[in-house]
Chain A
């Protein structure tokens, strides 16, 4: 069974631009979560989607948004990019919503904002 895939793997953007990252969960998984990882802040939870609805959200500004499609694939969007948005963005999928379900992570998208 294929793992979680994220595209693109690397991105370079300029301040003020917007970016869209994509995540395809493991087949059969219906919950998708997004995380931001930086050297200074570590891994921080962004949001979680299940059945095309955002179920939980971390402490990030409204410039960070996401959505989930009917096939469980998810996208996250960052508008008006800032230098501090440079990070590794990780997506994780699980069978369903809830702590009983193990999370499986993708390889991440490395975003560099110049």
Chain B
């Protein structure tokens, strides 16, 4: 059974700091991995989608990497800003087209 774990559960950093969020999954047989952002009480905003054949994706200050063999993905946020404060979720798409989500990392960026 696929399980997705995100560490840390919460993170507080000063503005301008570079940071890394971690996501691990137990079954390497995934089709893709997606990172989302969720603001309090709101829906999810897709940040990056990495297909199983890819190693990384970049969008602006965000870079996500995928290492299927070790069951890990990282989301790198450069030069963090207060507006980056949100919960970040990773999700893996497994066989049967089911999407399994991690519990998320709650990020606070202090001005």
Chain A residues close to B by CB (< 8 Å):
4, 6, 33, 35, 42-45, 48, 55-56, 58, 88, 90, 92, 97-100, 102-108, 110
Stretch at the interface among B12-20, B66-74, B75-83, B99-107: B99-107
Does any Cβ of A come within 8 Å of B58's Cβ? Answer: no
Chief secondary structure at chain B's binding surface: strand
Task: List A contacts of B28 (CB < 8 A).
Answer: none
- Asked, given contacts A56-B98, A104-B46, A108-B43, whether A99 binds B89 with beta carbons under 8 Å apart, the answer is no
Q: How large is the interface on B (under 10, 10 to 19, 20 to 34, 35 or more residues)?
A: 20 to 34
Would you mind naming 21 contact pairs between A and B with Cβ atoms under 8 Å apart?
A42-B101, A43-B89, A43-B91, A45-B100, A56-B96, A56-B97, A56-B98, A88-B41, A92-B44, A97-B97, A99-B51, A99-B93, A99-B97, A100-B31, A102-B49, A103-B46, A103-B99, A105-B43, A106-B43, A108-B43, A110-B41
List residues 44-62 of chain B with CB under 8 A from any CB of chain A. 44-46, 49, 51
Total A-B residue pairs with C-beta atoms closer than 8 Å?
54
Assess whether A107 is in contact with B42, with CB atoms less than 8 Å apart.
yes
Task: List B contacts of A58 (CB < 8 A).
Answer: 98
Chain B residues close to A by CB (< 8 Å):
31-32, 34, 36, 41-46, 49, 51, 89, 91, 93, 96-104
Task: List A contacts of B49 (CB < 8 A).
Answer: 102
Cα distance, A97 to B97, chains bound together (Å): 8
